[in-house]
Structures are given as C-alpha cells and as structure tokens.
Amino acid sequence: MQLLLYSRQGCCLCAGLEEKLLGLGPAPLLQVIDVDGDPTLQARYGLEVPLLAVPMANGEQRLLPRVPPRLMGDALARWLQQQLAGADLA
C-alpha cells in the first residue's frame, strides 16, 4: 500500500504521524510531501497538515480523514484498513 503524507518541516504532529506509520508492520510505502516546497500545495494544505492521501487507480488521489493523533500500532493499522476498504487503489 502506498500513502502520501502532506507535511511540513518542523511540524511535530507530521513527524509523529510519519514515525507511527513507518513503525507499522508491514510499513506502508510512504511518500512525504513538504507542502512548503510548492506554493499551490502550501495554499491548499498548509493549515491542514498532517494529511494522508492514497493514490487511486484513475491517477487521482483520495484524501483520508484526519488521523486521530492518539492512534498508534494495531489501532492505527485497523483505522487505515477501514479507510481504505473498497478503495480502487493504484
């Protein structure tokens, strides 16, 4: 499974979510996108990070609901499974 993590440098919530995702077994393929590196992304997602999205088979992406910050380990893995159920992933 591939996930996109919209993030920014110095964001403790972003770093925490990245660490939790990489700690899952198996860890998802994670692409971290710094929103501050692109003015369009910064304007669109700058106040919303961290945000997770999944690439879809049609070339678009689907934003996931905000990840509850206290989720970790098995609870985070279950949450991801629920969010991705039935999705037409790339």
Write down all domains in the chain, each with its CATH number in brackets.
2-84 (3.40.30.10)
% of the chain with per-residue pLDDT over 90: 77
Structure token digits, residue 51: 């945000």
pLDDT at 5: 97
Distance CA 56, CA 64 (A): 12
Q: What does the block give as tokens for 74?
A: 């098995």
pLDDT single digits (tens) 2-42: 999 999 999 999 999 999 999 999 999 999 999 999 999 99
- pTM value is 0.90
Residue corresponding to tokens 């304007």: 43
